[in-house]
Amino acid sequence: MLTDCIIPFWHGLKDYEFGGYFGYVNFELEIKKQSVKGCILNSRVLWFFSNAYKLLSQNALLEDANHAYRFLTEHCLDKKNGGLYWSVNYDGSVFDSTKHTYNQAFAIYALSAYYEAAGNHEALDLALRIFRLIEDRCADEAGYGESYDVAFIPSANEKLSENGVMADKTMNTLLHIFEAYSSLYKSSGSADVEKAMRRVLDIFELRVYNPAKHRQEVFFDKNMNSLIDMCSYGHDIEASWLIDYGVSLLHDRDLGARIGVITSDLAQNVFETAYHKRSLWNEQVNGTEDKHRIWWVQAEALVGFLNEYEKHPDKIEFRAAAMDILDYILQYIVDKRPGSEWFWRVNDNGNPDSSLPFVEPWKCPYHNGRMCFEILRRLATDNA
């Protein structure tokens, strides 16, 4: 999957004229070369090729990562106000100058991975500067603010809100802050980053995790009060293994035991509630199930169920579910056309949605690429 499908597809989107990677590929696999390039997309591409190089040690993959890094630092980074823009035009000029905490987090995630791949200390220094920017500009007493204008003046959080609510804070952004900080801590060993990771875990444990409903709450007001009855199955199973991984870096047995109970509860609830027909439903809102199968949800479910099996080898149902989801991905989510990648989503019968593209600012090689990296990493650890 990694070497024959995902890597070739994204390598083929390298823009040699204007830099970065093309920002849109429609369902017919037509590259729209003058489409907007999302900065989150570029960060995720940088993260992907950095990790692919670390795994496979192929120089072409490092050059793909170098290509993404140059575009990020030359065009996505605001050298005056700090942080990354939301998106740029095809030629690298600014399109949307919004500064979003979610976007800054993915830059940290990517730059940390690139530092480990290329040994580029400027990348690590930049990641630490963005970390300090988040802590200085976005952190408050309750958690982390999210949406800002170009000068980091707070603005409405339209980009990470949905389902009829306007959220000041979201579980999604908090999860990816923790993910980014975990990567940065692994790369830097910074005591400040460790302190911030522990703060995020406190927020997760006390405000985001709902023990009565065995889920994470999703959208919040500025004081971290939940705004909607919603369960995002994909984010819950993603959190179940991502948070376990981040906690493992802290080497705190008591913390790991306490948080591990929560993450196992999330995985168990997703398994019992959303695992159907060898795959995972998308979400539940106000009691209504969305039964679409989303590409990234299946990738995270495979890793999450495998992680839960590794924590509890007696729970063989989780290993069986991971294998089933892999079969489902290969049968329904992977597009069989030559030179293609994964469908965005399929319906309950496995039919792809032809209205959705293969690439746009949110559709990227991050989830399915990471699924491959995680399986290979865990297999290598088991074999060792």
The pLDDT value given to residue 384: 63
| Whole-angstrom distance, CA of residue 71 vs CA of residue 78 | 12
| Whole-angstrom distance, CA of residue 311 vs CA of residue 289 | 29
- Beta pairing partners, 209: 216
- Beta pairing partners, 216: 209
* CB-count burial class (<10 Å; 0-12, 13-18, 19+) for 202: exposed
> Which tokens is 58 given?
């192929």
The pLDDT value given to residue 381: 77
* Beta strand ranges found along the chain (DSSP E): 37-38, 87-88, 94-96, 99-100, 147-148, 169-170, 209-210, 215-216, 219-220, 230-232, 275-276, 279-280, 283-285, 288-290, 293-294, 345-346
Nearest to 319 by CA among 332, 310, 329: 310
| Whole-angstrom distance, CA of residue 200 vs CA of residue 186 | 16
Pinpoint the alpha helices (H) of 204-313. 233-250, 253-274, 295-311
Delineate the domains of the chain, giving CATH numbers in brackets: 2-383 (1.50.10.10)
- Please give, one letter per residue, the 3-state secondary structure of 342-363: ECCEECCCCCECCCCCCEECCE
pLDDT tens digits in sequence order for the chain, 384 residues long: 999 999 999 999 999 999 999 999 999 999 999 999 999 999 999 999 999 999 999 999 999 999 999 999 999 999 999 999 999 999 999 999 999 999 999 999 999 999 999 999 999 999 999 999 999 999 999 999 999 999 999 999 999 999 999 999 999 999 999 999 999 999 999 999 999 999 999 999 999 999 999 999 999 999 999 999 999 999 999 999 999 999 999 999 999 999 999 999 999 999 999 999 999 999 999 999 999 999 999 999 999 999 999 999 999 999 999 999 999 999 999 999 999 999 999 999 999 999 999 999 999 999 999 999 999 999 887 776
Query: Positive or negative, the Cα torsion across 226, 227, 231, 232?
Result: negative
| Whole-angstrom distance, CA of residue 268 vs CA of residue 74 | 44
| Whole-angstrom distance, CA of residue 40 vs CA of residue 360 | 10
Query: Positive or negative, the Cα torsion across 333, 334, 336, 338?
Result: positive
Nearest to 369 by CA among 117, 45, 151, 112: 45
Query: Positive or negative, the Cα torsion across 380, 178, 85, 218?
Result: positive
